[in-house]
Amino acid sequence: MAGSPSRSASRRLQLPLLCLFLQGATTVLFAVFVRYDHETDASLWHRGNHSNAENEFYFRYPSFQDVHAMVFVGFGFLMVFLQRYGFSSVGFTFLLAAFALQWSTLVQGFLHSFDSGHIHVGMESMINADFCAGAVLISFGAVLGKTGPAQLLLMALLEVVLFGVNEFVLLNLLGVRDSGGSMTIHTFGAYFGLVLSRVLYRPQLEKSRHRQGSVYHSDLFAMIGTIFLWIFWPSFNSALTALGAGQHRTALNTYYSLAASTLGTFALSALVGEDGRLDMVHIQNAVLAGGVVVGTSSEMMLTPFGALAAGFLAGTVSTLGYKFFTPILELKFKVQDTCGVHNLHGMPGVLGALLGVLMARLATHEAYGDGLESVFPLIAKGQRSATSQAMHQLFGLFVTLLFASVGGALGGLLLKLPFLDSPPDSQCYEDQVHWEVLGEHEDKAQRPLRMEEADTQA
Amino acid sequence: MAGSPSRSASRRLQLPLLCLFLQGATTVLFAVFVRYDHETDASLWHRGNHSNAENEFYFRYPSFQDVHAMVFVGFGFLMVFLQRYGFSSVGFTFLLAAFALQWSTLVQGFLHSFDSGHIHVGMESMINADFCAGAVLISFGAVLGKTGPAQLLLMALLEVVLFGVNEFVLLNLLGVRDSGGSMTIHTFGAYFGLVLSRVLYRPQLEKSRHRQGSVYHSDLFAMIGTIFLWIFWPSFNSALTALGAGQHRTALNTYYSLAASTLGTFALSALVGEDGRLDMVHIQNAVLAGGVVVGTSSEMMLTPFGALAAGFLAGTVSTLGYKFFTPILELKFKVQDTCGVHNLHGMPGVLGALLGVLMARLATHEAYGDGLESVFPLIAKGQRSATSQAMHQLFGLFVTLLFASVGGALGGLLLKLPFLDSPPDSQCYEDQVHWEVLGEHEDKAQRPLRMEEADTQA
Amino acid sequence: MAGSPSRSASRRLQLPLLCLFLQGATTVLFAVFVRYDHETDASLWHRGNHSNAENEFYFRYPSFQDVHAMVFVGFGFLMVFLQRYGFSSVGFTFLLAAFALQWSTLVQGFLHSFDSGHIHVGMESMINADFCAGAVLISFGAVLGKTGPAQLLLMALLEVVLFGVNEFVLLNLLGVRDSGGSMTIHTFGAYFGLVLSRVLYRPQLEKSRHRQGSVYHSDLFAMIGTIFLWIFWPSFNSALTALGAGQHRTALNTYYSLAASTLGTFALSALVGEDGRLDMVHIQNAVLAGGVVVGTSSEMMLTPFGALAAGFLAGTVSTLGYKFFTPILELKFKVQDTCGVHNLHGMPGVLGALLGVLMARLATHEAYGDGLESVFPLIAKGQRSATSQAMHQLFGLFVTLLFASVGGALGGLLLKLPFLDSPPDSQCYEDQVHWEVLGEHEDKAQRPLRMEEADTQA
């Protein structure tokens, strides 16, 4: 990059050394603690004992692959909308997710499946790890373009721990239901990122304003992300619900909710748009709010009508958020939310949690029959009333907001450590800070020459 | 958009009001009529009664997800080839499909699963709704760039009803077999769109000719669509066939047919191309004709040889159609077929229907054994001879062409209603009519500024 | 293409005639030899005999679809990085894969499932054919931009045969284990392509150097390929492993290995990059080395720790290869490796084979229990010691390198036949040689006009 000053060795080495350290530490911890579970260990699994048809792997694996596609393709490309930050958006998505899924295997393993000194891993660990990576990528969306990769890895290091603890408190201690993660994934990820972005507030960000938009092609790339999130969301919400009717119903509700949020988004985007025109930012994001808003309740007896109503509400709220609330968030609350995660994950996540409160309150033995056992086990066993379950759900939302806020604040302080490499205000949303991009974007960069030049200059 | 006159309020409000009305009406109808079926209702489904392994959900869901990906990614991106219409291609695909799948759940539900005052929904409703959305998107391809989103929603409103009725007549009344929809989806969708495009014929479309081509990157985006359609077509054709050998055979036949149509397309494209050069339009589309042409027969005992032969034929016919017939269609028949759906869905769909006639005529108890029951139940039960089944298949094709033509004509008249917002002849194939695109495509559009400007001007 | 001389009729007709001949010959051979197997034939399959839950189709099909997506989307788009060769990269991927999967169905069928005069096809033939197509596409990566489509089809014609024979020797004669193809797919495909590229060495390739790089958008397109390969690699390695724990463990190991190779790649890319900057070439490719390196051993009791360590090693070796070895390969060994397949498939493939040797040597009855039967059947039956199995694995690597080298050399001689159409040194990495691309890439090419022009000039 012609004319830009070289970074000091200590800054240049931050990313490689942090990667090496984190991967080294993770590998050692895996060596000590992680073992195959009885479904993946050759000596523990016996074909004779249970037929393949009873092997849970086969009921979960297709959904896992959809979740995996959603996390990497979906989140990765959704953030490519920025005109000069595509390499970073996709690249750091890879880096963060790859680290988060190893690290959360350890964290969640210690909390959930630590047994006789070992963590046992299989299908569910993979899905849970991908869920955690999703939360980290949501937070990434709030600070996109304003943080370096070493900072992001430190963010993930902290966030994965808090994600695991929050989820453990909700699901195991409070008996909260949240199969698709309205609270544990979306609300947590969004407010963690927003508070962190608040702490990292840059008053001089105006200097990079000219790069903070999209170009025609970058918007089309982002739509790849949107579509992947949209089509695979039914699998995301149902990946870990009860096998059978539970999983089936979850997918169905999510499917309807997304359809309704899409029409709601188009209606509101055209309504508030200049001369009735649609805004690509709304379509890229708000059509997905239907998936977020049923994250808690899609396994419940929401009814197809309920799914449509919830999705429609989420799509409209999210679109209005992009139009009217994002500017306020920045001007009044000093929160610079690059991807608008408050509109896509924050508000719809909170709405989804409240919808879960309502559905828990309405749960009856009549409505659920034998299925009550798998959706609300504590009510089925008579240990809790529906009202009590509803209060626990509501309390779970507050706990999540608390963990996310405190965590985001801690994360912000951590990322402000002065020796950490962070892009200057005038170089935000710019790939060239982190990537070898020869000259301008339309340059005919030549690989072999690039190598030779590097050799010559070295 | 500098210099373009503002639209009147009544035109600006068409899309939002129509979205709100359609979503509102659908939601009310869902509230009144739609209920979970016995596989998705918590109180009706009993784990004890049948193991997960017998739950049809698990045999259908992976295919459903593939169909879903194919409809949204495939059709959405295949239409992105136009240089200035990418937002509309992908965006309206979302809008149309999201509405069609709700509306067709109702229409198909009333026709197929209306029971004691309710429609019961589950896995098969989702797949059927996606199939119907596919037909709507095929019609969209014929009028791409020449219709506004409100017009398109009205088209879908009508087409979904006729799709449902046509399918009901064929499958339930005539006992026609058409698992992958050569007739019900491809032939119907193509000729509905083509007749509609004929009614909407624009003699002055020349004014937008300079926008009616691709650029290098838009062709690459379109290839994303092509690949998704190609790889997931085996799941599309097999999504609703009989479990077991039927589904397996359908996927296999489709796989071979697509491979052969690919080589046929390359051969013909190079043969008719200037100086032996390949044409991206052919590759984007005609390689897929192999999936269309076995839509009816892939569940039958087509043999792997038959699949290759059919696919090869379809690939060559489709390529020749793009080269020689599309210009004639416009000049002589006044049908402006933006995506060439006549070549990809129309002719291969009719060929596929005829191949189904042939396969039905050749069906014997020897060739199908016990499998005859699931492929040709009426022949298996002795209620029909193979010849009679073949005649019914042929009659089904005529019924489809009739429904599509009459429906397309009605649709065209509906869309010509003078108060509907439609792009002028000089603004076809142009995103700026419908979307906020600041200045030219290479502009460095800035999101926050865009919002501020809108505020200032308001 | 203004100014470029027209090709002679014999050169123009090479591609169409070769396509027609190959498709014709394949179709005839299918007619004579290929039949449905007992799982796809309507008359042989009896629903009564075995429930759907025991139908292997349902355990393999979702993985097959992932492999299919990986081969077409993954390999197709990974090679789109070149600035002016996107049409060819994606287009010829289609052409080669579509031919390879038909041809390898025949070749592998003759070797593996020839019975009473017929080849019987079903799920496993489809997966095996896709695996073979993967190997052909790896070789394509080595010669990308320097060969015409007719040459590539001849390469595939030869390579598919040698792939089949090599695989047969390893798996059936030597009893080597290689479920994810570290040897049979990656090592074979890479060295076949590299030796072929050596034989086709172009000393004057400098003339096309200005086209041998990426532009900003082409690098983003390539990342679509990277992500698809990354997310679906667990399905690739496990597609044909033993049902149950074997498949589950294979997916899990691959998942961890890829995560670790990603962090290894980022660490090394930043370490060796100018001023600490990351190189998109490394990220696009080396993050995938973790999938290659566990291709042999992921079904074994590698342990999660082992998967992380192997993946990390592969990511670092691959990144260093791109930085330091690729230039040497060209300057010293005269191997022009366009996509760097030596770094992504060659070295990691050999490492993966050696890891398989180690894991075989370490195999014990204690570690595998009953699972030994499915992973190392010859050890389980007592026909071989672990040491003997390890030696056989090592011998399998040498056999693979031998077949690949001899095959690549033969292929190179075949492709040098003087009458074959090959791009001149100054027209390498250029779509306009093979495709109708009007003027420069940013041209507003108009489809209908293009057709009219062709008519006028004809």
Closest residue to B213, CB basis, from C122, C149, C447: C447
B3 has a pLDDT exceeding 50: no
Closest CA in chain B for residue C444? B215
- The verdict on a CB contact (< 8 Å) between A436 and C243 is no
Taking only the tens place, the pLDDT of each residue in A104-137 is 999 999 998 888 889 999 999 999 999 999 999 9
Kindly report the number of other CB atoms within 10 A of residue B129's CB atom. 28
CA distance B26 to chain C (A): 33
Helix/strand/coil percentages in chain B, nearest 5: 70, 5, 25
B433 has a pLDDT exceeding 50: yes
| B206 vs C: CB within 8 A | no
Closest residue to A27, CB basis, from C66, C219, C312: C312
pLDDT at B454: 38
* pLDDT, one tens digit for every residue, chain C (458 residues): 444 556 777 788 999 999 999 999 999 999 999 999 888 888 887 655 555 556 778 888 999 999 999 999 998 899 999 989 999 999 999 999 999 999 999 999 999 888 888 999 999 999 999 999 999 999 999 999 999 999 999 999 999 999 999 999 999 999 999 999 999 999 999 999 999 999 999 999 989 988 888 889 999 999 999 999 999 999 999 999 988 889 999 999 999 999 999 999 999 999 999 889 999 999 999 999 999 999 999 999 999 999 999 999 999 999 999 999 999 999 999 999 999 999 999 999 999 999 999 999 999 999 999 889 999 999 999 999 999 999 999 999 999 999 999 999 999 999 999 989 999 999 999 999 999 987 544 433 333 333 333 333 33
Closest residue to C437, CB basis, from B216, B249, B303: B216
Instruction: Give which of C446, C427, C429 is closest to C437, Cα–Cα.
Output: C446
Instruction: Give which of A363, A351, A367, A364 is closest to A390, Cα–Cα.
Output: A363
Selected residue of B7, B52, B108 to mutate for chain A interface (largest A Cβ count, 10 A) = B52
Total residues found in chain B within this entry? 458
Q: Do A174 and A449 contact (CB within 8 A), yes or no?
A: no
- The verdict on a CB contact (< 8 Å) between C52 and B244 is yes
| A36 vs C: CB within 8 A | yes
- The verdict on a CB contact (< 8 Å) between A266 and B15 is yes
At B453, the pLDDT band (50, 70, 90 cuts) reads very low
Closest CA in chain B for residue A369? B43
Q: Which residues of B touch C452 (CB under 8 A)?
A: 327
Residues 225-244 of C with CB under 8 A from A: 227-228, 230-232, 234-235, 243-244
Q: Which residues of A touch B13 (CB under 8 A)?
A: 271, 276
Structure tokens at A333: 């609350």
Residues 125-184 of C with CB under 8 A from B: 126, 149
Taking only the tens place, the pLDDT of each residue in B222-250 is 999 999 999 999 999 999 998 888 899 99
List Cβ<8 Å contacts ≥24 apart for A127-130.
A127/A60, A127/A63, A127/A64, A127/A67, A127/A239, A127/A240, A128/A104, A128/A240, A129/A100, A129/A101, A129/A102, A129/A104, A129/A105, A130/A64, A130/A67, A130/A68, A130/A71, A130/A97, A130/A101
Kind plus residue range of the DSSP H or E element containing B410 = helix B386-415
| C362 vs A: CB within 8 A | no
- A249 phi and psi angles, rounded to 5 deg: -65, -40
Q: Which residues of C touch B259 (CB under 8 A)?
A: 98-99, 101-102
**Strand A114-115 to A118-121 pairing:** antiparallel
Would you say the ipTM is above 0.90? Answer: yes
CB pairs under 8 A between B and C: 245
Q: Check residue A118 and report its DSSP letter.
A: E
Instruction: Give which of B212, B285, B282, B290 is closest to B255, Cα–Cα.
Output: B290
Closest residue to C231, CB basis, from A73, A444, A446: A73
**Residue range B340-349: mean pLDDT, rounded:** 96
Q: If DSSP codes are grouped into helix, strand and coil, which group holds residue C423?
A: coil
**Which chains would you list as touching B if contact means 3+ CB atom pairs under 8 Å?**
A, C
Helix A86-112 × helix C245-272 angle, to 10°: 130
pLDDT at B212: 87
- The verdict on a CB contact (< 8 Å) between B122 and A276 is no
pLDDT at C59: 85
Residue ranges in chain A whose pLDDT is less than 50? 1-3, 440-458
- The verdict on a CB contact (< 8 Å) between A451 and C252 is no
The CA distances from residue C199 to C163, C204, C419, C425, in Å, are: 19, 14, 17, 15
Selected residue of C255, C301, C328, C329 to mutate for chain A interface (largest A Cβ count, 10 A) = C255
* CA A156 – CA C266 distance, rounded (Å): 16
Name residues whose C-beta falls within 8 Å of residue C183's C-beta, 6 or more positions apart in sequence: C170, C176, C295, C296, C349, C352, C353, C356, C396, C397, C400
Q: Do C152 and C264 contact (CB within 8 A), yes or no?
A: no
pLDDT at B411: 97
**Which chains would you list as touching A if contact means 3+ CB atom pairs under 8 Å?**
B, C
- The verdict on a CB contact (< 8 Å) between A301 and B434 is no
Total residues found in chain C within this entry? 458
* CA A79 – CA A146 distance, rounded (Å): 13
| C290 vs A: CB within 8 A | no
3-state secondary structure A142-177: HHCCCCCHHHHHHHHHHHHHHHHHHHHHHHHHCCCC
Instruction: Give which of A161, A210, A206 is closest to A188, Cα–Cα.
Output: A161
* CA C432 – CA B88 distance, rounded (Å): 29
CB pairs under 8 A between A and B: 246
pLDDT at A53: 55
B8 has a pLDDT exceeding 90: no
CA angle C181, C184, C190 (to 5 degrees): 100
Q: Which residues of C touch A55 (CB under 8 A)?
A: 243-244, 248
pLDDT at A295: 96
Closest residue to C42, CB basis, from B283, B301, B308: B301
Max Cα separation, chain C? 77
Closest residue to A102, CB basis, from C259, C271, C279: C259
Taking only the tens place, the pLDDT of each residue in A248-297 is 999 999 999 999 999 999 999 999 998 899 999 999 999 999 999 999 99
Instruction: Give which of C16, A23, C80, C407 is closest to B279, Cα–Cα.
Output: C16
DSSP letters of C432-455?
GGTB---SSTTS---HHHHHHHHH
**Strand B118-121 to C34-36 pairing:** unpaired
B342 has a pLDDT exceeding 90: yes
Residues 94-113 of C with CB under 8 A from B: 94-95, 98-99, 101-102
Predicted TM-score of the model (pTM): 0.93
pLDDT at B455: 39
pLDDT at B341: 96
Q: Which amino acid is at B14?
A: Q
| B444 vs A: CB within 8 A | yes
